[in-house]
Structure 1
Amino acid sequence: MIRKFVGRETELAILEEEWNKDGGRLIILYGRRRIGKTRLVSEFIREKKGILYFADDTAPQIQLRRLQDAIAGFFADPLLPSLELTNWDQLFTYLAGKSLPERRYLVIDEFTYLIKNDPSILSALQKAWDNALAKSNWCIILSGSMLGLITDTALSYTSPLYGRRTRDMLLGALRFSDARKLLPTFSFKDALKVHLTIGGIPEYLLKAGDYNDYATFVEREFFNRYGYFYREPYFLLSQEFRELKTYQAILNAIAIGNTSAGTISQFCGMDARHLYPYLEAMIRLGFIEKELPLLGSKRQGLYRIKDSVFDFWYNFINIRRQEIETENYSADTIDMNPYFGKQFEVFVRNEFARTFLPGYSIGRWWYRGEEVDLVAVRENDGSIVIGECKWGNLTEQKARLVLSRLIQKAELIRHEQYPNERFLLIGGGIEGKDRLREEGFLVYDLEDIEAMC
């Protein structure tokens, strides 16, 4: 069954723009596994003509023969399959020699498998591009999931393709407003919990969509040794890195609250100087990120797990694998609210706050043990918004107490550059929110988020 395709309007528009330009187009489309690259390309080439080739991790000569057959089939050339081609130069020379009266596509999905098994394909494509393909009607799309390999070999300035590509696209996760469309049977809160657990990864969302509620989904697909997500982070790490134990130790350290380089290195038992290459590698591939306070000192950043599946897995699954393996554990026994509270803050900063704070730079703030969940500034009118996020429900009395403390914290943040100051409170449910709004506070809860997302 073909599942519903949602979102990606911007990406499709960019691909169409490339398609409609003159001359050859060379597009590198990359992103983590399960992000939806193949589905995006399939939607783009619908009703267009060309060659779609799916590479796999096998010997170069087998790949060469398979692509040779695909090209021969497209051109209905009975001679090409009979030729004993021995290298990529010969195949791309053939392709470059074929005149196209109209725009056609060549899509190589999982191009990184070809690079991995025979890097000479890059030089062969570069020669054919320089000799003929750059002026042709070919629109070539090279798609890859092995992020380290594609950035080091196809996108770097040392790559034979450097300066040849006409567009590179790093495909990101779906925003919640699109992601929830893949969870039609979930309540709004359960859909949000799914998003906070697995992020906007289309294939993950489709798996969650097989269920009707969050609790059943998590129980069967995470807390189950046969579950889809039970080994997923380990698989993804093994595709990119060799020193798995070190990377796993770092992720485990961050998940349990060691967010500075010093505390991470201490937890892992390694010199901080040796830690940074591992951190940088995971930042580059989108597994973690380094946060800096929006206002104040930029010297000491903190690290957080950026990939939601990794964060959830290292918080709840990794430390319970023995019990799960022996089928002696249930998700019902775990208090996940602290995790949801942390992820809810990230969701508010990265997605929801941008719906009602246009033109603002949004981040968070911390200094000497004090922190604020959200700080947003707008330079053109000197505006600043200082906010707190609470996953649970708040009585009006509790909400006023949170706002009162927030106003006190603002004394540490205030800057003469931002004289127009407002305070924000976002929670799961907030009693008396209309009265608080009348007093000038920005107040939103899940009911408002549902209406605005």
Structure 2
Amino acid sequence: MIRAFVDREEERRILDEEWQKAGGRMIILYGRRRIGKTRLLTEFVQGKQGILSFSEDVSSSIQIQHFQAACAAFFNDDLLASLRIETWDQIFTYLAQKPLQKRAYLVIDEFTYLIKNDPSILSALQKAWDTALSGSNWCILLCGSMLGLMSDLALSATSPLYGRRTRDMLLEALPFVHAKKFLDQPFPDALRTHLTIGGIPEYLLKAADYASFSEFVEREFFSRFGYFYREPYFILSQEFRELKTYQSILNAIAEGNTAPGAIAQFCGMDARRIYPYLEGMTRLGIVERELPILVDTRHGVYQVKDTVFDFWYSFVFPNREAIETDAFHPSAPAMDRYFGKRFEGFVRREFVPRILPGSRVGRWWWKGEEIDVVAVDDQGGSIVFGECKWGGLNRREARGVLARLEVKAEMVRHDRYPRERYLLVGGSVEGKEDLRGEGYLVYDLADIEGFVKGE
């Protein structure tokens, strides 16, 4: 059964705008594997005419034959089907010379497989675009998952396609408000699932088979037959060669080593050698470099950005031997530490922008002190300091957190923001109504659920 298409309204609007514009269009759509690029494209071409070509990682000659067959079928051209086409230049020359009376699409899915096996396709497409396709009725969509190849060979200034694409679109993960639509789990479990696999549609479809978070991770992460047991390793192997080094770095960050020096020490590497690896994974969205807000420093830290990588390197990678013997069961404190960390990121990225729209949101740290959330409204001259607690808080604990937060806020240089408030977000917060009456911003999972349901 095909699931209903969820969200991607902005992406569909942009694609429709490109379709309506005059002349040839060349759109590059890229994003990590399983993100839903193919489904977006198949939804977009519904009711339109064109060529939809799905590429595979096979020899260039076979790829050309498949593409040739798709073109011949669209034009109903038996002669083209019978010809021996050996180069990409030949087939794109054919397309450039073929008259096209009405708007049509040319979608090449997994374009990176074609580049990988024969980079001459880029020059062939450039030549056809410059001679004819740019002024034609073709709407060309090139889609790829191997982000390194897409960045270096299709999007960079040295690419033959540079300056010719009319739009490039990086497809991101779904926010929780839409990811939740895939899951029929109690709200706390659905949030745990989201903090484990993120908003990746194919992953969410797998999680949708389970009524609880615990059953999902036991069967799909902590089993040698699970869907996710080798998933990050497979993705890394598509992008990088030195897998052991990349795996060690990701494990180091997942274990809490976030400064470059600490990561290098954990991996037994010279600190200067660590940066190319970090930069490569940052470019692909696997890790991210974070700087403290309102602090003038270039000394950032690194976090695992991709949710499923973070969970996998926190629990699966260091416990593979136990998983292989069906002897691994994560401890509650370890899981709470993981969810506490990811919950902070969720609050900063997805929740605070909803309750404080227009604010710059980040994290602050300095000399051993840290504030989980700092939201700055530059126009309104206001600032909000916040703390996140994954677990439940009774009245005394909640007031204690807020009192300590007010003390830490005095260390932040925020003279430009005379209006300040304090935020507390927890799993549950006893007495939250009383605290709100005193001017604090206080929310828990029940409030977040309300926001999600209200969209």
TM range (shorter): over 0.9
Equivalent residue, structure 2, for 1:135:
135
Shift of 1:319: 1.2
Say yes or no: does 1:199 pair with 2:205. Answer: no
Give the Cα–Cα distance (whole angstroms) in 1 for the partners of residues 362 and 101 of structure 2: 51
CA contact (8 A) 1:291 1:301 kept: yes
CA contact (8 A) 2:255 2:314 kept: yes
Describe the SS at the equivalent of 1:336.
Answer: helix
- TM-score between the two structures when normalised by the length of structure 1: 0.99
Give the Cα–Cα distance (whole angstroms) in 2 for the partners of residues 330 and 273 of structure 1: 37
Equivalent residue, structure 1, for 2:123:
123
* Equivalent residue letter for 2:79: L
Shift of 1:334: 6.7
CA contact (8 A) 2:55 2:108 kept: yes
> How high is the sequence identity, in percent, across the aligned residues?
65
Shift of 1:272: 1.3
CA contact (8 A) 1:382 1:418 kept: yes
Equivalent residue, structure 2, for 1:410:
409
Give the Cα–Cα distance (whole angstroms) in 2 for the partners of residues 230 and 99 of structure 1: 50
Give the Cα–Cα distance (whole angstroms) in 2 for the partners of residues 367 and 387 of structure 1: 16
CA contact (8 A) 2:144 2:150 kept: yes
* Equivalent residue letter for 2:39: R
Shift of 1:330: 3.0
Give the Cα–Cα distance (whole angstroms) in 2 for the partners of residues 103 and 411 of structure 1: 61
Say yes or no: does 1:172 pair with 2:144. Answer: no
* Equivalent residue letter for 2:378: E
Give the Cα–Cα distance (whole angstroms) in 2 for the partners of residues 238 and 217 of structure 1: 25
CA contact (8 A) 2:105 2:138 kept: yes
* Equivalent residue letter for 1:340: F
- TM-score between the two structures when normalised by the length of structure 2: 0.98
Equivalent residue, structure 2, for 1:47:
47
* Equivalent residue letter for 1:173: A
Describe the SS at the equivalent of 1:79.
Answer: helix
Shift of 1:331: 4.4
CA contact (8 A) 1:4 1:182 kept: no
Equivalent residue, structure 1, for 2:400:
401
Give the Cα–Cα distance (whole angstroms) in 2 for the partners of residues 109 and 127 of structure 1: 21
Residue deviations 1:129-159, cap 9 Å, x none? 0000000000000000000001000000000
Listed as ranges, the matches of 1:195-274 within 5 Å are 195-274=194-273
Equivalent residue, structure 2, for 1:155:
155
Describe the SS at the equivalent of 2:416.
Answer: coil
Equivalent residue, structure 2, for 1:291:
290
Give the Cα–Cα distance (whole angstroms) in 2 for the partners of residues 387 and 6 of structure 1: 32
Gaps of 5+ in 2: none
Shift of 1:335: 3.9
CA contact (8 A) 1:219 1:331 kept: no
Equivalent residue, structure 1, for 2:429:
430
Give the Cα–Cα distance (whole angstroms) in 2 for the partners of residues 438 and 97 of structure 1: 72
Q: Which moved more, 1:373-382 or 1:328-337?
A: 328-337
Give the Cα–Cα distance (whole angstroms) in 2 for the partners of residues 125 and 228 of structure 1: 37
Q: Which moved more, 1:331-340 or 1:351-360?
A: 331-340
Give the Cα–Cα distance (whole angstroms) in 2 for the partners of residues 192 and 120 of structure 1: 46
Equivalent residue, structure 1, for 2:277:
278
Give the Cα–Cα distance (whole angstroms) in 2 for the partners of residues 334 and 447 of structure 1: 23
Equivalent residue, structure 2, for 1:341:
340
Give the Cα–Cα distance (whole angstroms) in 2 for the partners of residues 319 and 168 of structure 1: 38
Give the Cα–Cα distance (whole angstroms) in 2 for the partners of residues 442 and 148 of structure 1: 42
Shift of 1:414: 4.0
Residue deviations 1:182-206, cap 9 Å, x none? 00x2011111000000000000000
Describe the SS at the equivalent of 1:359.
Answer: coil
Say yes or no: does 1:102 pair with 2:95. Answer: no
- The change in CA–CA distance for 1:334 and 1:441 in structure 2 (over 3 A counts) is closer
Give the Cα–Cα distance (whole angstroms) in 1 for the partners of residues 430 and 49 of structure 2: 57
* Equivalent residue letter for 2:70: A
Indicate the RMSD between aligned Cα atoms, in angstroms: 0.9
CA contact (8 A) 2:294 2:413 kept: no
Shift of 1:360: 0.4
Equivalent residue, structure 1, for 2:73:
73
Give the Cα–Cα distance (whole angstroms) in 2 for the partners of residues 5 and 414 of structure 1: 46
Give the Cα–Cα distance (whole angstroms) in 2 for the partners of residues 9 and 381 of structure 1: 30
Give the Cα–Cα distance (whole angstroms) in 2 for the partners of residues 363 and 246 of structure 1: 30
Shift of 1:100: 1.5
Shift of 1:267: 1.1
* Equivalent residue letter for 1:46: Q
- The change in CA–CA distance for 1:3 and 1:332 in structure 2 (over 3 A counts) is farther
Give the Cα–Cα distance (whole angstroms) in 1 for the partners of residues 447 and 420 of structure 2: 22
Residue deviations 1:329-373, cap 9 Å, x none? 234777411100000000000001110111100000000100000
- The change in CA–CA distance for 1:333 and 1:347 in structure 2 (over 3 A counts) is closer
CA contact (8 A) 1:256 1:315 kept: yes
* Equivalent residue letter for 1:140: I
Shift of 1:327: 1.6
Shift of 1:5: 1.2
* Equivalent residue letter for 2:423: L
Residue deviations 1:75-126, cap 9 Å, x none? 0011101111121111001111111121100100000000000000000000
Give the Cα–Cα distance (whole angstroms) in 2 for the partners of residues 25 and 206 of structure 1: 33
Residue deviations 1:15-55, cap 9 Å, x none? 00100000000000000000000000011111111110100
Say yes or no: does 1:64 pair with 2:59. Answer: no
Equivalent residue, structure 2, for 1:31:
31
Gaps of 5+ in 1: none
Equivalent residue, structure 1, for 2:317:
318
CA contact (8 A) 1:292 1:301 kept: yes
Give the Cα–Cα distance (whole angstroms) in 2 for the partners of residues 445 and 390 of structure 1: 9
Shift of 1:298: 2.3
Describe the SS at the equivalent of 2:281.
Answer: helix
